[in-house]
Amino acid sequence: MSKDVKDITLVSEQQIRQLVDLFYDKVRADPDLSPIFERVIRDEWGPHLQKMYDFWSSVMLTSGRYKGEPVMIHRRIEGLEIGLFDRWLALFGESCAELLDNETAGLFWRKAVRITESLKLAMFYRPDQPWPMGTA
């Protein structure tokens, strides 16, 4: 069995839903992230969560359900700073560790790190400016 097939068999749609729900409970309670999410999402949490279920299903299970442009969406968010991505990643890691076994948590974590780095580079990297210090 190839590594990708094995990875998919470790993850279920139910785990994705539980992880997304737990993570966004943490986001909504976070003093740094909550104001941005509340301003952008307002009372549309149901549709946002469904979009995130689809996103993570596409990432982890290659379901193809997510149809969106994360970079363009995040670029439109006023007040979104590079350090907030690190906070997002920390809360996501906490959620993975609380909910999933080590192997499955590691699968999600590695994908989340790549996604975070891709978004940070797409949104904040400028070849004519130094990369902000303190951001991994």
In a domain, 131, yes or no: no
In a domain, 129, yes or no: no
Q: 132 versus 1: which is more confidently predicted?
A: 132
Torsion of CA 123, 129, 133, 136, to 10 degrees: 40
pLDDT in tens, 106-124: 999 999 999 999 999 988 8
For residue 51, the one-letter residue type is K
CA 78 to the chain's CA centroid = 18
Domain that holds residue 77: 3-124
Looking at the predicted structure, is the pLDDT value of residue 2 above 70?
no
In a domain, 132, yes or no: no
In a domain, 116, yes or no: yes
pLDDT in tens, 39-90: 999 989 999 999 999 999 999 999 999 999 988 888 889 888 999 999 999 9
In a domain, 135, yes or no: no
Please list, residue by residue across 76-91, b when 16 or more beta carbons sit within 10 angstroms of its beta carbon and e when fewer do: eeeebeeebbeebbeb
In a domain, 43, yes or no: yes
In a domain, 76, yes or no: yes
Looking at the predicted structure, is the pLDDT value of residue 134 above 90?
no
Looking at the predicted structure, is the pLDDT value of residue 4 above 90?
no
What is the CATH number for 38?
1.10.490.10
Average pLDDT of the residues in 86-111: 96
Q: What is the pLDDT of residue 8?
A: 56
In a domain, 136, yes or no: no
Give the 3-state secondary structure of residue 130.
coil
Total domains present in the chain: 1
